[in-house]
Amino acid sequence: MTNLGGISALEKTVIFVHLPKCAGSTLNRILLRQYKLSETYALAGRSVRDSFLELKRLPEEKKGGIRLLYGHMHFGLHEHLPQPCVYFTLLRDPVERVISH
């Protein structure tokens, strides 16, 4: 098992920052097969601000149970979760991304 900063990887919440047109929808489907539905939380707000407010309003018990947080968001949402977190995203060649858009 990987140890990330003194805490095992299983103890950290994974935060997947989904960037449009970078294979994020495919990765979401793969990630969702790795976690229980009750341990995942999708930020589905219409804007990054809505997503932030949505997460901030959750009860602490719900926040503490999130093991996978995913959606369109900015860095910083980890500050509103009681457990340690690790972020990741997918990047794509900028020209290919524009063409795909």
Q: What is the pTM of this model?
A: 0.78
pLDDT at 26: 83
H or E element in which residue 30 lies: helix 24-32
- Helix (H, G, I), strand (E, B), or coil: what is residue 8? strand
Q: Give bridge partners of residue 86 from the DSSP assignment.
A: 14
- Under-70 pLDDT residues of the chain: 1-10, 20-23, 45, 94, 97-98, 101
- What are the residues whose beta carbons fall under 8 Å from the beta carbon of 69, sequence distance 6 or more? 13, 14, 15, 16, 40, 41, 43, 55, 77, 81, 85
Q: What is the DSSP letter of 58?
A: S
Question: Could you state, in order of their start, the residue ranges of all structural domains in the chain?
Answer: 3-100
pLDDT at 25: 79
